Chain A
Amino acid sequence: MLELAIKGSKKYYGWMALLLGIIGIGFLVYLKQLDFGLGITGMTRDVSWGFYIAQFTFLVGVAAGGVMVVLPYYLHDYKAFGKVTILGEFLAIASVVMCLLFIIVDLGQPSRIFNVPLYPTLNSVLFWDMIVLNVYLFLNIIIGWNVLEAERNNVHYQAWLKPLIYLSIPWAVSIHTVTAYLYCGLPGRGFWMTAILAPRFLSSAFAAGPALLILLCLIIRRVTNYDPGKEQIQSLAKIVAYAITINVFFFLCEIFVVFYSQVPEHMDHIKYLFFGLQGHGAYVPWMWTSMVLMLISIILLVNPITRKNEGVLTVACIATFVGTWIDKGLGMISGGFVPSPLHHVNEYIPTIPEILIALGVWATGFFVLTILFKIAVSVKEEVRG
């Protein structure tokens, strides 16, 4: 089926060339980082994880979000999602690819990455994160590819795929749970040390992933002859509506616990993010923007009149995606490091090289995504036509 990816229009090639350009820039800056060290980023002794790990965390969510089409289709036999399931699975593949790349660019000694499987350390959450992410990647490649090929050949997919499909559903939950466990099990990091972190991660994932999928469906409808379908988009929109509402609810639960108990070690991080601390408040406008965006998307998505209007739905999905991205891809990581365990306020601001490398990784993800979607849509067009 790969041949379908190299037969495209001028626009398709133009888009791929643009992505390759961004990847190239990111790669060159990464070479610089390899040479100099992670000192070209804004990270410090106090804020030792930054933009890369934050993007990683957010994208694990987008990857896990794919399960929101897989589950209704395969478990509840919701036939309509047959038109979008492959898109959800392929989005998961591209997201996990970005996740793994973000881990690699964040390593101080990337050439030693195989020390993780060579010296398996069962007590380290990072070891388990490596396992769940890679297995999830392979599950989605195997399932997505074979189901699509079967569809192309007009036959039912192989019976042995069924157990793998069922396995991929709890597995999607596991990837984001384990990723939350990276943070929430650390003593002395009050911002993350909350049992609601994994549920919060999952709720924002199930909002961000399907929201992106809706936007991608709308783009596919516009640029190809394949229509993922009105009903499908509306069902996805309902999923986003529930997920983003639950996400804000979980966040408010956190706010209550923190501000009613008033334990400084937990409170200071949220104060820093939303109001600033000791004169440092670079994230304040971002965090409030995130809150407003999430509230707007709740209003637009819960109300059936606005949800059913695809123009408004587009706005709501962008609001959801950007809102959850700021929350997780920006605030979640640096918020946990400021103030530091010794209660110093050393603010973290990502540097330009850091952002260029991150953009390169995002572009790589979208390059993979475009190839996969091109294949999927071509097959769908072929089968229909």
Chain B
Amino acid sequence: MKSSRRRFLQIAGISALGLGAKPVYDAFAKEEHGDKPEIQILKNDKALIAKQWAMVIDTRKLESTEALDPIINACHKIHNVPTKLEDKRHEVKWIWEEGYHHAFPGKANRFLDEKVENTPFLVLCNHCENPPCCRACPTGATFKRESDGIVLMDFHRCIGCRFCMAACPFGSRSFNFRDPRPFIEETNKEFPTRMKGVVEKCNFCAERLAIGKMPACVEASNGAIAFGDLYDPESEVRKLLKTNYTIRRKQGLGTEPSVYYIV
């Protein structure tokens, strides 16, 4: 009797192990055969498409905090970013202002021209072409969308391990250290709010591109921010890159940021 119960438990244990290993097995199997299930996502007719979305920020046109604030507010407002959090430790931000020395550490001369020294720089997720955050994520909750190169977050899959935050060399990611909902100024019903314990960041307004609108920051910038396909020679960003000297943040790390700055 006793030994048969033990036997049963052994078999049950091994079976449980087998069930748990199934998804792992599937992952290896998928790599070998490459037969992905056919999933079709229908696109809106007006949807804006690109091979790799990129942004050019003309900092000459954004000289003061007053010029940046409407841009930052536009983004945070439509994305339900909790701006009323008082404790700075719990801060969540998608796009914000930094001085040159912090936006471009390692690139700053000790004696900078006064204009650059005093210019506020907009920083946000760089939607890197080779994103270290996506490499680090253990669940695929953050991923680079193959169709247009946007680095996205699945708030429902994220386990809140914050490996992506350690991996990001730009400090672009925020963690919900507490329930953000009471701290949203005015909830936008068209975009999801987040729960505590998940990571979030700029999504290049993927939800707006899908219905033919430009990103909110671009719209609010009065032409100071350009947005377009990096691999379309006719796009606005490519035209700007052709005619202006631009810099990117921490280019030497090889992550290939998609946000360019005209200084």
Contacts and interface: CB of A to CB of B under 8 A. Distances in A.
A binds B: yes
B106 A264 contact: yes
Contacts of A342: 98, 102-103, 105, 123, 170-171
B168 A121 contact: no
B137 interface: yes
A251 B72 CA distance: 44
B263 interface: no
B138 A112 contact: no
Interface in B201-238: none
Nearest to B197: A108
A119 B140 contact: yes
A38 interface: yes
A108 B138 contact: no
Chain A CB within 10 A, most for which of B167, B173, B250: B167
SS class of chain A's interface: helix, strand, loop or mixed? loop
Given A106-B161, A119-B157, A123-B135, A187 B169 contact: yes
B219 to A, nearest CB: 26
Given A39-B178, A115-B141, A117-B23, A124 B136 contact: yes
Contact of A182 (B163, B171, B173): B163
Interface stretch (A42-50, A195-203, A241-249): A42-50
Contact of A187 (B92, B173, B255): B255
Interface stretch (A22-30, A81-89, A125-133, A219-227): A125-133
Contacts of A182: 163
B168 A108 contact: no
B255 A343 contact: no
A189 B195 CA distance: 28
B195 to A, nearest CB: 8
Interface string B186-197: 000000000111
B137 A124 contact: yes
Contacts of B31: 122
Chain B CB within 10 A, most for which of A121, A126, A337: A121
Contacts of A343: 101-102, 105
A373 B243 CA distance: 73
Contacts of A305: none
Contacts of B173: 45
Contact of B161 (A46, A107, A117, A340): A107
Contacts, number: 160
Interface residues of B, number: 57
A37 interface: yes
A121 B91 contact: no
Nearest to A264: B106
A39 B182 CA distance: 15
Nearest to A44: B89
B198 interface: yes
Contacts of A118: 23, 139
Interface string A344-385: 100000000000000000000000000000000000000000
B166 A126 contact: no
A120 B135 contact: no
Chain B CB within 10 A, most for which of A107, A110, A186, A265: A186
SS class of chain B's interface: helix, strand, loop or mixed? loop
Interface string B51-95: 000000000000000000000000000000000000111111100
Contacts of B157: 112, 115, 119
B158 interface: yes
B11 interface: no
Contacts of A43: 89, 175, 177
A38 B199 CA distance: 12
B138 A127 contact: yes
Nearest to B123: A342
A116 interface: yes
Interface string A84-110: 000000000000000000010011111
A101 to B, nearest CB: 14
B184 to A, nearest CB: 15
B165 interface: yes
Interface of A: 36-39, 41-46, 48-49, 103, 106-110, 112-113, 115-127, 130, 182-183, 186-189, 264-265, 336-337, 340-344
25 contacts: A38-B177, A43-B177, A44-B88, A44-B91, A45-B174, A45-B175, A48-B162, A103-B161, A108-B196, A109-B158, A112-B159, A115-B157, A117-B23, A118-B23, A118-B139, A119-B139, A119-B140, A120-B24, A121-B139, A122-B31, A341-B168, A341-B169, A341-B250, A342-B103, A342-B105
Interface of B: 20, 23-24, 27, 31, 87-93, 98, 101-103, 105-106, 123, 132, 135-141, 157-163, 165-171, 173-179, 195-199, 250, 253-255
Given A189-B166, A189-B169, A342-B171, 7 more contacts: A37-B196, A103-B161, A110-B159, A187-B167, A187-B253, A265-B106, A344-B102
Pairs A-B, 9 closest by C-beta atoms: A108-B160, A188-B169, A108-B197, A39-B177, A37-B196, A126-B138, A39-B178, A37-B178, A48-B165
